Every structure is written in C-alpha cells, then in structure tokens.
Amino acid sequence: MKAIGIILAGGNNDGRLGVLTDHRAAAALPIGSCYRAIDFTLSNMSNSGIGKVAVLTQYNSRSLRDHLMSSKWWDFGRKQGGLFVFTPYTSNAGSTWFRGTADSIYQNMTFLKRSNEEYVVITSGDSIYKMDYRKVLEYHKEKNADITVVYQKMTGKDLSKFGILQMDADNKLEGFEEKPEQPKSDAASLGIYVISRTLLINLLNQIIPEGRYSLVKDIIIRFIHTLKIYGYEYDGYWNAIGTGIAAYFETNMDFLKKDIRDHFINEYPYIETKPKDEPPAKYNRGADVTDSIVGSGAIFDGKVEHSVVFRRVRVGKGAVVRNSILMEGCQIGENCVVENAIFDKEVVLSAGQRVIGVSSEEPAVLKKGTKL
C-alpha cells in the first residue's frame, strides 16, 4: 500500500517547554546526545517505505530547516518522491499563518493533489518512538476504516495532556476526549493518523471554509459517528517531549537505559540523523565519566555521572555533573557542581558555580547562551 507522509512540526507546544523553545521548534530539540526529535519520525517514514514526506513548519523554523537541508541522511534524496519542507508564505492572495493542524495541511493542498498515493500518514515531529507504519496501513485496510488513530494504553500516567479514546470491542471509536481532567479510559492518542488522500482533501475542503482548523476537534471528534474511525494499539516505547520539560528530561535519560538505547541505536531499522564532523570525545587524566552518553568533540577533565552530554561540551577540573543534560557547546568551569539540570546550547559556567535543580521532575533550566 502506497502512502505519503505529513509531519506536523510547526509549533513550540504552547510554551510547555519554556526557554528550550524560545529559539527553535519542539521538533528540533536535541535528543540522546546526537539526534534531533524529528529524526525519529523521519526515520520511521523512510524505514516504512514512505518515500514522499512533507514537513510543515512554522514557529522558529530556522534550525529545523538547517537540519533538513539535505534529505539524503534519511534516504529521501531521490528523483521520485523526496522530502518537502513547507512554511506559511506571503503572496498576492494574502498571508496567513497556520491556524491549526488541519489548516496547515490545507494551505499546502497542492502537495496532496499532486500526489498519486492512496493513503496519507499524518504524525507529529516531536515524539520519540520507532514504528513500522506499514502495519498501521495494513490494519487500516483490514478494518476498511476511513481514519485510523494510533493509541497506547497509559495506565497510571497523567492523561490530561493527551486525547483519550473510547472504543467498542472491535476498536471502533465511540468517543474522543481532548485533554480531559477525568478521562473515561487510559487509551491515549499518539497523534498518528492514517486516512485516504482523497477523503482528507474532501474533508479539508469542507471544514476550512467553515472556519474549522483542527484535525482532532473538527474532523475526528466532529465526524466520529459518521465516519468509520478505528484505534490501532501500539505497545512499544513512545514519549512525547512536547508535553513539558519533565517529559523532555525523562526521554533523554531513557537513553541511558541499555534496552532503550539498543532499541534505537543498535537494532535494525536504525534511527538516522544528520552527521557532524567532529573529533572523538577526549578524556583527560583525572576525568571520571560513568553511566552517561557523550557526543563527539566533548572534552572532560572533571566528573560526569548519569548524564546526557552533546557535542563540544567541556567539563573542567574538579567539576561534578550529575543527572543532567548538557547541550552543544556548554562549558562547565573548574569546581562547578551541576545536578538535576538542563543546559541549552552554549551555556557557560565560570569556576565554582553551582546549579542544582529540585529533581528530575523539576530540573533547573538555563537558556541558550547563559553565562554565570
């Protein structure tokens, strides 16, 4: 079954990620010492045989566009198909930012109309997971569904940040609650949808002129009793960094777990990213780095424990870094103490500074370029 992909990567998640999305889209956030969040969805598309993908960007898209400048790393550098990056644009007909998820697709309707594939896989660009979309497409066809929504059972988690599905015994949707305070089930939508291309075009042409701009509210919820909408359960690793700083911290720390790290890095099909030409990490005499993953070009003179360290980070003599995330280019001075913290790019601590967060759920966060 042939399909095209649409990745919704336009937002900063309503400020839930604080200063981390002051200068970048959530989909461009660094993950696991060498990846960007969007690498996971792009790799899933390519590994699932989807060779034509549109990335819809809007908010602070410069770093994301730079990352996607060459599509060959995800095997989209091809004559037929390829990777397309769309942003809101100005023309004689007017200029309008994307007013919602459905509107972002509608404003790029040409992409749908010029495609010949039967199905469309729509997903977000800020979720960390590995999925074969071909299995979802097969399920979609078996059920003769109009729309398929991928979900996961999240027993014991805070469900107020997710769309919650209610289904019958055959997994046909009977209800959909958007971020409910008291959810009626623990089946949380993962923001991954399969729909036929022609149906999507028809629905968009119907709702947008009516001033309706949301895929969830104005298509799934509105047409839940008139369209055949089914849920597809996914039981693998999945985390959405866009739900907040705690989720972003947790996701990065998950890469310190061998099974999760192997799942993404060592088990085929692999998650690909844009490579960087940096020298290997360097551990000077007296350095002590344990239970951590380290990006290329980092130099260590101090102690690092249970942390995720990105490219070109420098940790000085006598410094101690614990349970923290240090993004590209951070410099930790001599005898500093960093614990339960997230440092954005190019944070510089002078000698003897202390930055200690409350916990993994409430880490200290320093914005890009902070100098203390």
* pLDDT exceeds 70 at position 90: no
* pLDDT classification of 86: cutoffs 50, 70, 90: confident
pLDDT of residue 87: 82
pLDDT of residue 12: 65
pLDDT of residue 69: 82
pLDDT of residue 320: 97
Q: 70 or 223, which is more confident?
A: 223
* pLDDT exceeds 90 at position 97: no
- Would you say 313 and 329 are in contact if contact means Cβ atoms under 8 Å apart? yes
pLDDT of residue 72: 81
State the average pLDDT over residues 56-77.
82
State the average pLDDT over residues 306-311.
96
What are 234-245's pLDDT values in tens digits? 999 999 998 889
Q: 277 or 308, which is more confident?
A: 308
* pLDDT exceeds 70 at position 66: yes
Residue 107, H or E segment = none
* pLDDT classification of 201: cutoffs 50, 70, 90: very high
- Two tokens, residue 274: 């844009």
Q: What rounded mean pLDDT belongs to the chain?
A: 91
Q: What is the pTM of this model?
A: 0.93
State the average pLDDT over residues 138-156.
94
Residue located via tokens 């999507």: 200
Give 32-35's long-range contacts (Cβ < 8 A, gap of 24+).
32/252, 32/255, 32/261, 32/264, 32/293, 32/308, 33/255, 33/293, 33/294, 33/295, 33/308, 33/309, 33/310, 33/311, 34/273, 34/276, 34/295, 34/296, 34/310, 34/311, 35/271, 35/273
State the average pLDDT over residues 323-344.
97
* Whole-number Å distance between alpha carbons of 20 and 366: 9
What are 7-45's pLDDT values in tens digits? 998 766 667 888 999 888 899 999 999 999 999 999 999
* pLDDT classification of 282: cutoffs 50, 70, 90: very high
pLDDT of residue 91: 59
Residue 63's SS3 state is: helix
* pLDDT exceeds 70 at position 163: yes
pLDDT of residue 357: 94
* Whole-number Å distance between alpha carbons of 151 and 175: 13
* pLDDT exceeds 80 at position 79: no
Residue 118, H or E segment = none
pLDDT of residue 161: 84
pLDDT of residue 235: 93
* pLDDT classification of 197: cutoffs 50, 70, 90: very high
State the average pLDDT over residues 364-372.
94
* pLDDT classification of 65: cutoffs 50, 70, 90: confident
**Percent above pLDDT 70 for the chain:** 96
